Chain A
């Protein structure tokens, strides 16, 4: 059932929804570009893995989701958080380890979460999310909420037992789950063309009795289309789908990665494939939006990111008393 969807299908997205999709992708891009700069400046502690270049995936999927729905993310999770509606200023503060952060400074980049938004967390464990998403999908099914659950994971996690077990479980339990394999070509520094035994990750769907599709991850509309079909099927009781989204990440595995393992693919992608450029070209060509409307969003987002950084830097760190709280509900 593996196949590539056409990208030319006219979407039903109106101007407001298109503007929101662009705003989300632009916010992710600017957030990540800014974190890249700030990290280089030495102000951000720990490990940071950036999502720039992959914006169309989180946005194309999450545009279909609402408060009933949950997602699980990865160590490269900022984009999923933003697309699911996590507060950008709280995210930036979390990355700086501040008490105003999404997780009050106790999680950091790899653990940003907002359960109230159905965002189950970035995850420091490769393949940590898919089993949890089976559970969220089961809860939605048992409680009759109409919700779906989406596991985002990378090409690295596609080789984890947790992921493969979850594909099987979701299929036999007929869960409203969607598995989005974000194949950016490298698990850390190791190429997915070497580490994945099948030609495509989507090929594995057949082994678990579910549809598998491959999508151009630089094309918001292609992701939106594929995700829409999978999510509608899941909401209708039609079970899980595996979607493989292919693209290139614009930064290294983590900040500080010298990226000696790859050539000029990033420059090529930024120049010729970039999701923001393609989105702009598409919606202005069709006349659905004007360049001015998009420029206005660029200005609005730049201001938001600036404010996020200023406020994050000024915010207080957690105090010593916070060390011992939040381990248990009661103990």
Chain B
């Protein structure tokens, strides 16, 4: 039975249902209980934005606070995954990957290959990404392309509550290391989510909107921005097809290529910095594999090549908005040799 819950609640419910189903699932992270060692309520915080709130009360032996010590506890989650547990570790902000990245990309990502196919590392690293919270340069980045670059990692980017639940359940059941990227501006968005457990397979893009004039591939929070743009464009008689990849590693290139073969135009919308990004990666794939179908140059709508600014007047122009997306679509549709 579906009912409307938030992205935050969907993630919490996915974890709880998997913990209920499989006692090997453990949760760890900074303030994930929130309150260990203090006299107050034990799960006072339940994560810095409350995503794991209430789990400690239900699973007191399997939800643990960690010190602010990302190298040690992200590494511990990875080590525990090789030892029979299925840890869900929270790297609070993706920006903090810098203090623990070795454990992710040199250890977890490489075990299986480096050890000749004999290692299984079922760890999920949940992490909060994206701009919009006025959190400035060190708490707002979109570093998913860095993880996507690394063979051995899977990278999951839910854009709505339904996908968040189904993709997180799949992530926990998956036998490879998964980076599960939660956009901080989506936590309070709501949508219909079935109460029962379900898993969404990786590598299957969601065609959010169908259209014949242009393909828009949008990542994470930008899916909603693309939808807003598509509504505007429909008023001008332009029908955009919107594709949400849902996972960027693996990436469902087939769905993207098929769409571009139909529309002949591609706009990629990604709030990350533009260089060596998901936008450039998807654009290059289409340029290489669907060049003959393209009727206009590929357009990329991204943040500029700057850190994320603090002032709202700056951050608001840093993040791609519906107008920029609509303008890019018009550039593609109106392009002539």
Contacts and interface: CB of A to CB of B under 8 A. Distances in A.
Interface in B52-90: 61-62, 64, 66-67, 69, 71-85, 87
B250 to A, nearest CB: 5
A101 B116 contact: yes
Among the interface residues A107, A165, A330, which one has the most CB atoms of the partner chain B within 10 A? A165
Contact of A162 (B72, B85, B250): B72
B236 to A, nearest CB: 40
Contacts of B67: 165, 168-169, 172
Among the interface residues A135, A139, A145, which one has the most CB atoms of the partner chain B within 10 A? A135
B82 A165 contact: no
B102 interface: yes
Contacts of B119: 113, 115
Interface in B92-120: 102-103, 106-107, 111-120
A121 B115 contact: yes
A106 B151 CA distance: 14
B151 A327 contact: yes
Contact of A139 (B85, B111, B112, B117): B85
A132 B82 CA distance: 9
B82 A138 contact: no
Contacts of A116: 118
A121 B111 contact: yes
B69 A168 contact: yes
Nearest to A167: B72
A241 to B, nearest CB: 17
Contacts, number: 160
B175 A135 contact: no
Given A165-B72, A169-B72, A330-B175, A115 B82 contact: yes
Interface stretch (A25-33, A123-131, A269-277, A298-306): A123-131
Interface residues of A, number: 49
Contacts of B85: 135, 138-139, 142-143
B116 A106 contact: yes
Nearest to A112: B115
Given A139-B85, A142-B26, A329-B112, A131 B117 contact: no
Given A326-B112, A326-B117, A139 B71 contact: no
Given A113-B118, A169-B66, A326 B79 contact: no
A135 B114 contact: no
B176 interface: yes
A135 B76 contact: yes
B328 to A, nearest CB: 31
Contacts of B174: 329-330
B148 to A, nearest CB: 13
Contacts of B81: 135
A123 B79 CA distance: 13
B154 interface: yes
B29 interface: no
Contact of B114 (A111, A130, A140, A149): A111
B152 interface: yes
Interface in A154-173: 161-162, 165-166, 168-169, 172-173
Contact of A328 (B64, B79, B154): B154
Given A115-B82, A139-B80, A102 B116 contact: yes
B72 A134 contact: yes
A328 to B, nearest CB: 5
A106 B72 contact: no
Given A106-B114, A138-B76, A326-B113, A131 B103 contact: yes
Given A139-B79, A165-B69, A329 B115 contact: no
A280 interface: no
A116 B83 CA distance: 10
A136 interface: yes
Among the interface residues B61, B69, B151, which one has the most CB atoms of the partner chain A within 10 A? B69
Contact of A113 (B77, B114, B203): B114
B84 A330 contact: no
A20 to B, nearest CB: 25
B193 to A, nearest CB: 26
Given A103-B114, A134-B75, 10 more contacts: A101-B116, A125-B107, A135-B83, A138-B76, A145-B84, A149-B83, A162-B102, A165-B69, A169-B69, A327-B112
25 contacts: A103-B116, A106-B113, A113-B111, A113-B114, A125-B106, A125-B107, A128-B106, A128-B107, A130-B75, A132-B76, A133-B79, A134-B73, A134-B75, A135-B78, A135-B81, A138-B80, A139-B84, A145-B84, A165-B72, A166-B72, A169-B66, A169-B67, A325-B117, A331-B154, A331-B203
